[in-house]
């Protein structure tokens, strides 16, 4: 009889075990808004003033930081691995895709980290990954976009490889199926609405000519200009990006202005003025066109979707708890003996 009862208890425990394990995994992976409330109560204002100072020096701070956060999250998760420098030029930032990563994004994080660490209560307590997430929120709102609460508690990664960049970032020539696939690949399966809202980031910043040269010079064997491109916009682009243009030349991704975070991106798509195929396809494809129309018509619908999507993106592959480390210098992993 006692043996039977013991068996029952064991069976019940075995049944509960997976649920208990799941709970541990789930709680471990969670970020929270008040994560540093006790350890670094002034964190948000310290980051905000450092970012603001940098933004006043150069507007490029905004697009550079926003894109840096995207690249960080998409390659190995939001763990600031994109900021690590490699003595052998073999880190994520050494991949050719980094040409777009203007140095000002890196500099923003480094300056904000210095401001945070200058406060004795915060010193070496806040991850570079969280500082990048906060700085991203700040540049979006400084550029006229929405302001939002940022979830915190990320830890910094110790690994950064050039090779990991290749398959993880979307390319400007992607069609909708390829975009859906690569965004879904990132564990939290970012939805089609998330893809649209995050692509709205292309309301800010610049692109090098080579990213879309194919669309204006040699679309395919029989067609020179991509027929989904507005013809007068195509000619404008050819003027700004003549053949054999200096590879450092950049053009605004939003022809109505690269400095304001607004829904102009979606209005541009309606007029055939999406700079990349991966932008224009969001309007050409009937699956996403209704959402483009909604975001073009209603700024607040775009803002709300953007906040939801960037919050989701900020959870991709994060290290939490005792994983990773709190990097002391954002550009290098902590030395074990120092």
Ligand X SMILES: *[C@@H]1O[C@H](CO)[C@@H](O)[C@H](O)[C@H]1NC(C)=O
Q: Does 170 bind ligand HEM (CB under 6 A)?
A: yes
For the window 210-229, what string marks contact with ligand X as x by the rule CB under 6 A?
A: ---------xxxxx---x--
Note if 71 is an active site residue.
Answer: yes
Nearest to 249 by CA among 208, 197, 218: 208
Q: Is 211 in the site for ligand HEM (CB under 6 A)?
A: yes
Contact 85, 331 (CB under 8 A): yes
Find the part of the chain contacting ligand X (CB under 6 A) among 92-100, 187-195, 206-214, 235-243.
92-100
For residue 186, give every residue at least 6 positions away whose Cβ sits within 8 Å of its Cβ, in sequence order, or none. 73, 74, 168, 313, 316, 317
Sequence-distant (≥ 6) Cβ neighbours of residue 72 within 8 angstroms? 78, 79, 80, 81, 82, 83, 129, 132
Q: Per the residue annotation, which of 8, 52, 71, 95 is the catalytic one?
A: 71
170: annotated binding-site residue? yes
Q: Can you read off the two tokens belonging to residue 333?
A: 């992993």
Q: How far is CA 260 from CA 80, 84, 135, 240, 241, in A?
A: 26, 29, 17, 21, 23
Interacting span for ligand HEM (CB under 6 A) from 146-154, 164-172, 227-235, 239-247? 164-172
94 contributes a contact to ligand X by CB under 6 A: yes
In the complex with ligand HEM, which residue's Cβ is closer, 81 or 207?
A: 207
3-class secondary-structure state, position 138 = helix
What part of residues 56-85 is at the interface with ligand X (CB under 6 A)?
none
- Cβ density class 178-212: b for 16+ within 10 Å, e for less: ebbebbeebebebbbebbbbbbbbbbbbbbbbebb
Mention every residue, 6+ apart, whose C-beta is less than 8 A from residue 203.
Answer: 253, 254, 260, 261, 262, 263, 264, 265
Task: State yes or no: residue 96 binds ligand X (CB under 6 A).
Answer: yes
Q: Is 289 in the site for ligand HEM (CB under 6 A)?
A: no
H or E segment and range at residue 207: strand 206-208
- Binding partner of 34, given ligand HEM, ligand X, none, CB within 5-8 angstroms per partner class: ligand X
203 appears as a binding residue in the annotation:
yes
CA dist 230 and 207 (Å) reads 18
Does residue 207 belong to the site contacting ligand HEM (CB under 6 A)? yes
Can residue 285 be called a binding residue for ligand X (CB under 6 A)? no
> What is the footprint of ligand X within residues 17-36 (CB under 6 A)?
33-34
**221: partner contacted, choices ligand HEM, ligand X, none (Cβ within 5-8 A by kind):** ligand X
Q: 122 or 140, CB closer to ligand HEM? A: 140
Is residue 248 near ligand X by the rule CB under 6 A? no
Q: Identify the DSSP state of 329.
A: B
Q: Which residue is nearest to ligand X (CB)?
A: 34
Is 75 marked within a binding site?
yes
| Binding site per annotation, positions for Ca(2+) | 72, 75, 77, 79, 81, 92, 203, 254, 262
Binding site for ligand X (CB under 6 A): 33-34, 37, 93-94, 96, 98-99, 101, 103, 219-223, 227
């Amino acid at each position: 009889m006692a043996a039977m009862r013991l068996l029952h208890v064991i069976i019940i425990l075995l049944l509960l075990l997976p649920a208990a394990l799941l709970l541990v995994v789930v709680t471990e992976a969670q970020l929270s808004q008040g994560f540093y409330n006790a350890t670094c109560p002034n964190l948000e204002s310290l980051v905000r003033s450092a970012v603001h100072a940098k933004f006043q020096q150069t507007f490029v701070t905004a697009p550079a930081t926003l894109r840096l956060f995207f690249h960080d999250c998409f390659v190995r998760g939001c763990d600031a691995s994109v900021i690590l420098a490699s003595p052998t030029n073999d880190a994520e930032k050494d991949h050719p895709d980094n040409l777009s990563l203007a140095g000002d994004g890196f500099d923003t994080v480094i300056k904000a980290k210095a401001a945070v660490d200058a406060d004795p209560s915060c010193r070496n307590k806040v991850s570079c990954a969280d500082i990048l997430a906060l700085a991203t929120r700040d540049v979006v709102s400084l550029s006229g976009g929405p302001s939002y609460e940022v979830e915190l508690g990320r830890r910094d990664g110790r690994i950064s490889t050039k090779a990991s960049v290749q398959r993880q970032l979307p390319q400007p020539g992607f069609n909708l199926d390829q975009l859906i696939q690569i965004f879904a690949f990132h564990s939290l399966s970012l939805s089609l609405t998330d893809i649209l809202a995050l692509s709205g980031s292309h309301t800010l910043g610049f692109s090098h000519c080579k990213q879309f040269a194919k669309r204006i010079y040699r679309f395919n064997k029989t067609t020179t200009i991509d027929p989904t491109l507005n013809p007068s916009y195509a000619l404008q682009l050819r003027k700004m990006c003549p053949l054999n243009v200096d590879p450092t030349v950049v053009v605004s991704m939003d022809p109505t202005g690269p400095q304001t975070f607004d829904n102009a991106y979606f209005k541009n798509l309606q007029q055939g003025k999406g700079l990349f195929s991966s932008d224009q396809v969001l309007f050409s494809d009937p699956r996403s066109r209704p959402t483009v129309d909604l975001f073009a018509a209603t700024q607040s619908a775009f803002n709300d979707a953007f906040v939801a999507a960037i919050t989701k993106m900020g959870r991709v592959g994060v290290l939490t708890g005792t994983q990773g480390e709190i990097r002391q210098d954002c550009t290098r992993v902590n030395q074990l003996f120092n």
